[in-house]
Structure 1
Amino acid sequence: MDEIDPGDFETRVKRSFSRQAFMGTIGAELTRVQHAMVEIEMPFDQKLTQQHGFLHAGVIAAGLDAACGYAAYTVIEPDASILTIEFKVNLMSPGRGERFLFRGEITKPGSTIIVADGRAYALSDGPAKLIASVSGSMMIIRGRQDVTG
């Protein structure tokens, strides 16, 4: 398979991320964008917890999904876009930390479907703690005016 030139993927990712209202709502920000890998970080916020005070699994899943989706966005052609079609999250440890890091990486690029894996970490004093992982599939969208960048 020929390698696709993704063009200036960093600018495209940043522009697209800035339009994601939900990421803004949870206080998430892009902290690293490189070919086939994206990192998103967010601070702990009591409003995003479940009944035991841990970061809600839905927020963890959303952070992982966004990181993997944007990692996929870095390997596609500039006029295409990405939609997640499936993911599975493994929650390994309670979401307890001062900040959270969501890292998405491309496992298998493709011409129609891209497979990505991600890891979520809780950050506090001391080493980062792995709290969740994800494996997901993203579909490349071409030629649709309602699904762009």
Structure 2
Amino acid sequence: MDIMQVGNRILNEQAFSRLLGTRLMKLEPGAAHLELDIKPEFLQQHGYVHGGVVSYLADNALTFAGGSLFGDALTVEFKINYQRPAQGERLVARAKAETTGKKVVCCTCEIFCLKDGEEVLCASAQGTVLGKV
């Protein structure tokens, strides 16, 4: 089974990810790319994507990037910086491993909003992922 098949199996086992409609677009050792179409149910009172949805996508992308090096993983911690309101048609998260140890990996992630065919950076995150033992 190749890494994308494993990643899609894991994503499909996440009921919350299925509910939101998250897609794994790319998975390779140390890197992950997830996407999520923006639905009206994801918006807060100002019409922007709720920060919880943005942070969910960042957390999942970070863990997929780190987990790709260990086979499976759990997030130990993560931090997110919202840089502008998320709005548009789709959220795009690209994460990569920055430093790797025997059991942990530090990852970074950028989250973009796709609006009118243009990607706009809306948040960045970093986190520590623990290889599941």
Please, what TM-score do these two structures have when normalized by structure 1? 0.84
Amino acid at match of 1:139: L
Residue 39 of structure 2 is aligned to residue 41 of structure 1: no
Larger radius of gyration: 1
Aligned match of 1:31: 25
C-alpha contact (below 8 Å) 2:7/2:24 kept by paired residues? no
Alignment-mate amino acid for residue 19 of structure 2: T
Separation in 1 of the partners of 2:24 and 2:7? Answer: 9
Gaps of 5+ in 2: none
Please give the alpha-carbon distance, in whole angstroms, between the structure 2 residues aligned to 1:22 and 1:9.
21
Letter in 2 for 1:109: T
Gaps of 5+ in 1: 1-6, 143-149
Whose helix fraction is larger, Structure 1's or Structure 2's?
Answer: 2
Matched residue count: 133
CA distance in 1, matches of 2:113, 2:98: 23
Partner SS, residue 128 of structure 1: strand
Runs of 4+ in 1 over 4 A off after TM superposition: none
Alpha-carbon deviation of 1:11?
A: 2.3
* RMSD after superposition: 1.4
* Structure 1 or 2: more strand by fraction: 2
**What CA deviation, in whole Å up to 9, does each residue of 1:85-141 have, x standing for no partner?**
100000001011111101111011111111000010000224210000001001112
| 2:118 alignment partner, SS class | coil
TM-score (norm 2): 0.94
Percent of pairs with identical residues: 28
Q: How does 1:48-67 map to 2 (within 5 A)?
A: 48-67=42-61
Provide the C-alpha distance between the structure 1 equivalents of 2:105 and 2:65, rounded to a whole number of angstroms. 10
